[in-house]
Amino acid sequence: MKMKISILTIVFLVSIVMLSIFVANVANLIATDSDEEMIQRPKGEEPRKYNIGDKMDNLMWFLQISDIHISIFKDPSRITELKEFCDVTVDAFNPPVVLASGDLTDAKKKDAMGSKQVLDEWKHYKRVLDESGVLKRTTWLDVRGNHDNFNVLNLKSSENYYLNYSVQGKYHPRSYLHHINHKSEKYSFIAIDACLEPGPKRPFNFVGFLDEPEIDKIKKLAQHSKELGSDYIIWFGHYPTSCILSQCDNGLREIMAEHREGMVYLCGHYHTLGGIAPQMYTLQRGGYLELELADWKDNRMYRIGVIDHGQFSFSDNQHNDWPVALITNPKHILFSMPQRENIKSIIESTHMRILAFSTVPIKAVSVRIDDEKWVQCRKVEGSLYVATWNASRYLKGIHSIKTRVVDELNRKKEVAQMFALDGSRMSFKLLPRFLLMSDASKIK
């Protein structure tokens, strides 16, 4: 009996130890404290401080759409509503750039079990972009997803329709850089193509892979962005970094961490995990944000990303839900990046800043902090609305800010977020952190 108890005790203790090790490893894995925060920055290397006031300068926004999954067998409204997006939504925002981060087509057989590249799906994709005229009004940056690579032997394969029916494929078959000068600043958009070669059939094409030549190419693209004098890099691709395998010890995450002008990595692929994780966001340990966008396929989601005086903000929105409102100053506490953004820009700012968009003119924009009175905002130009504030009143603790936008059709939108000026932080949800911060290359 004593022997039995002692064995059970040993098994129990070993189990506790193993569980503790597992929990410690997971906790370390999903810790969002930047590795860079352990290192003292040399004086003068802190992020640039901006004078945030009521001007349109140092402000740029763009759109992202992901996992479109155009199909000739399922849900034709994916196609018709994509045309609405190109016709109406893009016009309402008037962005210099739209990112289409993979799975442009569905590439499934009629039984939805097997996979094959379907030429007609690619023709629908190209037709929508051509007929809408969106390519004349903005720059459309598309990149392949795993569905766009099902059953594709190699880049030169006759079934690699991305080369001829996408916007960027004929110029950039894999990863590439697009650079823009917007007002007084320069921005580089770097597309990451992590598709397997050869492209396996479904369902063996879920993870991405970057071999050494592609990693070297991405490093050169990032270096080229520096040579172009880019103030900011926006990284985007289909696969989250958690499911990209690499031949190199210093993979994609390390490259993005090294380039401090890189604000964010934007991706798709996970489709909200069947609704379990509709908002999949995290701050990676390299100091930049990683933001998965819910799919267009079933959820009809798209994103607006904004860099306003060195502060990155974003809003994920459902198609045809108007108006759209986004508070850019003071920015959301959850998405602060201490190694990429200078909080003094907010502390010393003179105005709260709100972007408001709709398909019709905006009638009114108001804002309030905590439980104070609502304040009417003044339109500056285009979509920018501002109201003066005294930031010194909010230097301690976490505060709330809310904006209310009304358009001429009396459609209303209220957006609220938390902010802090003393370095206080909030934590991302556990499941999204785990999904985005785990590392497939370390699973053995």
Domain ranges of the chain: 59-321+430-442, 332-420
How far apart CA 241 and CA 374 sit, in angstroms, is 42
Confidence of residue 247 (pLDDT cuts 50, 70, 90): confident
350 has a pLDDT exceeding 50: yes
Asked whether the domain spanning 332-420 has the same topology as the one spanning 59-321+430-442, the reply is no
* pLDDT for residue 6: 59
Helix axes 77-84, 119-132, angle to 10 degrees: 20
Mean pLDDT of the chain: 91
pLDDT at 338 exceeding the cut of 70: yes
Residue tagged 């990676």 (tokens): 284
Question: For residue 7, what pLDDT band results from cuts at 50, 70 and 90?
Answer: low
Say which residues have a Cβ less than 8 Å from residue 128's Cβ, sequence separation at least 6: 79, 82, 83, 86
- Does the pLDDT value for residue 14 go beyond 50? no
Q: Is the peptide bond before 278 cis (omega within 30 degrees of 0)?
A: no
Does 59-321+430-442 carry CATH code 3.60.21.10? yes
pLDDT digits (tens, 9 = 90+) for 290-317: 999 999 999 999 999 999 999 999 999 9
Q: Are 151 and 115 in contact (CB under 8 A)?
A: yes
Please check the confidence at residue 21 and state whether its pLDDT lies above 80.
no
Task: Please report where in the chains the tokens 């990683």 appear, as a residue.
Answer: 290
Q: Is the pLDDT assigned to residue 12 strictly greater than 70?
A: no
Supply the pLDDT for residue 32.
52
- Class at the top of the CATH hierarchy for domain 332-420: mainly beta
Cβ atoms of 353 and 306 within 8 Å: the answer is no
How far is the C-alpha of 362 from the C-alpha of 191, rounded, in Å?
Answer: 34
Q: Give the HSE-up count for residue 127: Cα atoms under 13 Å, Cβ half-sphere.
A: 10
Q: Which residue has the higher pLDDT, 87 or 37?
A: 87
- Band of pLDDT at residue 44, cut at 50, 70 and 90: low
Task: Over range 177-194, report the average pLDDT.
Answer: 97
CA 134 from centre of chain: 21
Reported as a single tens digit per residue, the pLDDT across 88-119 is 999 999 999 999 999 999 999 888 788 899 99
Q: Would you say the C-alpha torsion 225, 189, 282, 220 has a positive or negative sign? A: negative
Q: What is the pLDDT of residue 129?
A: 98
